[in-house]
Amino acid sequence: MVFAHSGEFVLRNVGSEAVLVPIRNHVGDLDAVYVMSPVAVRIWSLIDGAADSEAIAARIGDEYDVAPAEAAQDVNELLTALEEAELIRRA
């Protein structure tokens, strides 16, 4: 499955953390700000509307030396959470 960013959030580095910040809706809503782990930031950077979830998982597995099944599970869990939060959409 291929995903793309929703277009309403941008990734910003704040100190030592990375956060997704709304740029249109919910600008003042602190519940709409998401702190991202380094691996989540890397996955976010790979969501480009062209690479499918399997390709993203393979890349994460290679870069972080994680078993393919574990990488696929972790990537799919994050993609599901991002989609439910409307941060990404199916492309």
**In this predicted structure, what is the pLDDT of residue 74?**
97
Reading the block at residue 59, the tokens are 């890349």
| Rounded (5°) CA angle 73-78-83 | 125
Residue 34 main-chain phi, psi, to 5 deg: -120, 125
Are 24 and 17 in contact, with CB atoms under 8 Å apart? no
Reported as a single tens digit per residue, the pLDDT across 62-87 is 999 999 999 999 999 999 999 998 88
Enter the CATH code of domain 3-90. Answer: 1.10.10.1150
| Residue 32 pLDDT > 80 | no
Pairing of strands 88-90, 3-5: antiparallel
Q: Give the domain ranges of the chain.
A: 3-90
pTM: 0.86
Quick one: average pLDDT of 34-61? Answer: 96
Reading the block at residue 84, the tokens are 């439910």
Reading the block at residue 60, the tokens are 């994460």
Q: Which of 27-31, 41-45, 65-69, 78-82 has the lowest mean pLDDT?
A: 27-31
